[in-house]
Amino acid sequence: MKNKWDIAHDSLSQITVFSNSDNKPVTISGHSDELKCVGVGTDAAVFQHFYAPSYAFKVYAKDKVSKIKAEKDIYNTLSGSPYFPVCFAAYDKYLVLSYEGGTTLFDCLLQGIHIPDQVVKDVEDAREHVRKRGLNPRDMHLKNILLQNGRARIIDVSEYIQPGNDFRWEHLKKGYEAYYHLIDGTSIPYWLAETIRKWYNQRHRHFASFDEFMKTVIKLTTFKK
């Protein structure tokens, strides 16, 4: 018996994904008129199929396919939570996930879309769920969290088996609580958002602390309510 998502297999076979050095987004080779790319990361690209729109197909770079089984296992461990997509199947080079609509928090900043307090509460609850399942809630950042009907949905769980705290979410939460009111409802230019993102990734070289980093960011962003 065929699954509903099997219709996408032939189109996906026309796509090849390649990883790049320096943690840069993957490169996509090939094309299918039935596929739309809806996301690009450093290990994989995500596609939606015209005739199976309720699914997201996460196609891994050729040298990253060893991560597929581990990510499927993570989704299975997290099953039952309202904060993560559902993983339906894993194949040689891609995962089949539930397609999640909504706007990333990064795009919310670009478009001036209000991010409610409920999103922060949801992510905190999701992180607690991850810990209770014996996993580590890492790599939670603006491009991995969706605003979906006023609630949060987290769309990348691939690092939850890695050790250590990257503090991305803690810093986001602190920035939201202390400074978000200064830019709430204001559209931030893409160049500025990207500059801040790159500064954050290099903050240890240039700033003594996260607070010093944030003070510099606020000086750069002259926006007022």
Cα(83)–Cα(155) distance, integer angstroms:
9
Cα(166)–Cα(174) distance, integer angstroms:
14
Question: How many CB atoms are closer than 10 A to CB 123?
Answer: 21
**pLDDT recorded at residue 24:** 87
CATH architecture for segment(s) 4-98: 2-Layer Sandwich (3.30)
CATH architecture for segment(s) 103-220: Orthogonal Bundle (1.10)
**pLDDT recorded at residue 213:** 80
DSSP state of 62: G
The full DSSP string for 1-27 is ---GGGGGHHHHTT-EEE--STTPPPE
**pLDDT recorded at residue 215:** 75
pTM, two decimals, is 0.88
Residue 153, CA atoms < 13 Å, CB-side half-sphere:
17
Query: Domain limits of the chain?
Result: 4-98, 103-220
Per-residue pLDDT for the chain (225 aa), expressed as one digit of tens each?
Answer: 689 999 999 999 999 999 998 888 999 999 999 999 999 999 999 999 999 999 999 999 999 999 999 999 999 999 989 999 999 999 999 999 999 999 999 999 999 999 999 999 999 999 999 999 999 999 999 999 999 999 999 999 999 999 999 999 999 999 999 989 988 988 999 998 888 888 887 777 777 778 778 877 777 765 444
Helix (H) or strand (E) holding 154: strand 151-154
Structure tokens at 152: 């949060």
The SS3 of residue 190 is: helix
CA proximity to 60, closest of 138, 133, 156, 124:
156
Q: Residues 188, 109: contact at Cβ < 8 Å?
A: yes
Cα(56)–Cα(100) distance, integer angstroms:
8
